[in-house]
Amino acid sequence: MSHLIDSLVDILGRDYVITDSIRRDDISKTTLLFQNIPDVVIYPKTTEEVQKVMRLAQEKNVPVWVVSTGKNWGYGSKTAAYPGGITMILVRMNQIIEVNEALGYAIIEPGVTYAQLNEYLKSKNIKLWMDSAGSTESASVIGNALDKGRGLTSYADHFGALCGMDIVLPSGELMQTGGGPTNNNCSRYLYKWGIGPYIDGLFVQSNLGIVVQAGLWLMPEPEAFDFMVFQYKANEDRLPNFVDDLRQLVSRGFLPSRPHFANDYAMLCIVSQYPHHLLTKGRTHLSREALLQWRKSFGITSWTCGLGLYGSKTEVRLQKRMLKKVLGKYGRLQSFGIALRKDWVGRLAFWIAKKVARFMGISDEMVEQAVPAANLFKGIPTDQFAKQVYFKNYEAKPKGEIDPPKDGCGFIWIGPVIPFSSDDIQRIMDTTKIIFEKHGFEYFVELIIEGPRSIIFLMGIFYDKKNKEECERAEAWYFEIRQLCLEMGYPPYRETTQSTTKALDTNPEMKKLIGQIKMAVDPLNILAPGRYGTPLREDSKCNAVGND
């Protein structure tokens, strides 16, 4: 055991310094074809411990990769961009410091999960709604926000909802953003821009500091809520009109939520398991005909989405009327309203909704998504949709908690940001479909409505990690589609750890500036080297133990 490990044990206690090789391997597993095993994994509990570790790392010249809970599955989970070094996991820093109901914010640590925050709000009967990512309820609220993750309510922009951060700098110093008097700034959780440069942005998708506490804006519980499901049934050639009409709805405020439109395959992953029996011989992916046959058996159309309606009763009625008027032209719009109530009226209404749906060829599995989906639009987290990643090479989706990297699930996400315009959607669909086809994967797309001006065009593939040939295709798919999107001018909103060092390659001036800032605040390149476009360390293998 080296001096470094001893010092870490001194700071954190033996239980929170992991050197066992099997555990280190487990912890650093990803759903990508990319994994770097750290020399040591640590779990600090307090800001002071984080500061001490950073000072130690500076002294010993050992890199520290930091994740909150490390649940950014499909983007890199807990792996570093390089082998070796210290990996710091902040899951034990899980205090909810304060929730201010009147002013609508919480102050939390990075280990606080969606499930935990929601539970806290509900148990204390606080009339504020959290916005949850559509992924797992065990994800870190702050971690997701710092990766620019998104949810579905009016507060879907998670980084946008952060206000006022406590940051441990690479030197180990503690800093408060917001510009006001340190430890005496009454508006630091209330007003984003502070005084002087607004620097919170330096700590998202970056390696300039460790956010150990942050303010998070929460949505006041509306007087009324409704949930609707929309199924696009028009011809594909009307998609451009649909997109432009949809943008109008969003920019005029008639769609206060931030829905995700899932294409047929994306929807099928949720309600079903992969139909290996429909795979004709010699094919690696379903033919158009097979897909249509499969989707028909579930009553799924080319695009599906859930919509949350918020406001006073009159406002919700108004939104509903507008949505019916506009979206009704393109498909079926079903309001769940009463069917979401938990009393006998609600159960009856839900039973009727199921019967009606069945009559229209829509499967029970499809209707059963309504409750968790509606909950998501109220900020109540669920693992229901994250479980889609088990749909391909597994018999069934697991019950209870999930751990896709450990369970060997293979999947990769990429979400280029495109203008909210029919031309751009058409252009990216036409070009990316070819890449999926070329590498033998089904076309998986979700249109994440970012706002009235842009859409995150989320694409993904599922692959069998035990199948070498499929893995090769998966990796080729990822790099080709990433390159294509960049060439089309559609940069991804988020990088996988596999490509994080290349994040700014297409903007060399910005890469240079951020490199200069990195050198200024972290001259030894200790904190998460390589993350989001800054250079890796010279010593490509950052052996913490060996260095000591």
Task: List the one residue from 97, 103, 348, 356 that touches a second copy (CB under 8 A).
Answer: 103
Q: Is the dihedral of CA 290, 292, 295, 298 positive or negative?
A: negative
What is the C-alpha to C-alpha distance for residues 296 and 290, in angstroms, rounded to an integer? Answer: 10
**Interface positions, 140-159, toward a second copy (CB under 8 A):** 148, 159
Which of 402/459 has CB closer to a second copy? 459
**Interface positions, 280-319, toward a second copy (CB under 8 A):** 311-312, 314-315, 318
Among the listed residues 331, 314, 130, 299, the one whose alpha carbon sits nearest the alpha carbon of residue 223: 314
User: Please, what is the minimum distance in Å from the beta carbon of residue 441 to a second copy?
Assistant: 24
Instruction: Return all residues near 435 (Cβ < 8 A) that are at least 6 apart.
Output: 477, 480, 481, 484
Which of 346/451 has CB closer to a second copy? 451
Task: List the one residue from 20, 98, 122, 182 that touches a second copy (CB under 8 A).
Answer: 182
What is the C-alpha to C-alpha distance for residues 149 and 410, in angstroms, rounded to an integer? Answer: 20
Residues in contact with a second copy, counted by CB under 8 A, come to a total of: 94
Which of 186/396 has CB closer to a second copy? 186
Indicate the SS3 state at residue 163. strand
Indicate the SS3 state at residue 520. helix
Contact 168, 210 (CB under 8 A): yes
Contact 445, 453 (CB under 8 A): no
| Segment lying near a second copy (by CB under 8 A), choices 174-182, 299-307, 380-388, 462-470 | 174-182
- Please, what's the b/e burial string for 1-23 (b: 16 or more CB within 10 A of its CB; e: otherwise)? ebebbebbbebbeeebbbbeeee
What is the C-alpha to C-alpha distance for residues 229 and 301, in angstroms, rounded to an integer? Answer: 12
**Interface positions, 395-424, toward a second copy (CB under 8 A):** 417-421, 424
Quick one: which H or E segment has residue 437? helix 422-439
**Interface positions, 445-474, toward a second copy (CB under 8 A):** 450-454
Task: Fill in the DSSP letter of residue 470.
Answer: H
Which of 367/418 has CB closer to a second copy? 418
Which of 109/147 has CB closer to a second copy? 147
What is the C-alpha to C-alpha distance for residues 99 and 119, in angstroms, rounded to an integer? Answer: 13
Task: List the one residue from 97, 292, 356, 519 that touches a second copy (CB under 8 A).
Answer: 519
235 in contact with a second copy (CB under 8 A): no
Task: List the one residue from 26, 101, 119, 244 that touches a second copy (CB under 8 A).
Answer: 244
Contact 260, 446 (CB under 8 A): yes
**Interface positions, 481-510, toward a second copy (CB under 8 A):** 486-495, 503-504, 506-510
Max intra-chain CA distance, the chain: 70
**Interface positions, 56-75, toward a second copy (CB under 8 A):** none
User: Please, what is the minimum distance in Å from the beta carbon of residue 261 to a second copy?
Assistant: 17
User: Please, what is the minimum distance in Å from the beta carbon of residue 125 to a second copy?
Assistant: 18
User: Please, what is the minimum distance in Å from the beta carbon of residue 377 to a second copy?
Assistant: 17
User: Please, what is the minimum distance in Å from the beta carbon of residue 180 to a second copy?
Assistant: 4
Which of 46/421 has CB closer to a second copy? 421
Which of 164/405 has CB closer to a second copy? 164
**Interface positions, 183-222, toward a second copy (CB under 8 A):** 184-187, 189-206, 208, 217, 220, 222
User: Please, what is the minimum distance in Å from the beta carbon of residue 205 to a second copy?
Assistant: 5
Indicate the SS3 state at residue 445. strand
What is the C-alpha to C-alpha distance for residues 350 and 344, in angstroms, rounded to an integer? Answer: 10
Which of 247/473 has CB closer to a second copy? 247
Which of 84/256 has CB closer to a second copy? 256
Quick one: which H or E segment has residue 65? strand 64-67
What is the C-alpha to C-alpha distance for residues 525 and 545, in angstroms, rounded to an integer? Answer: 18
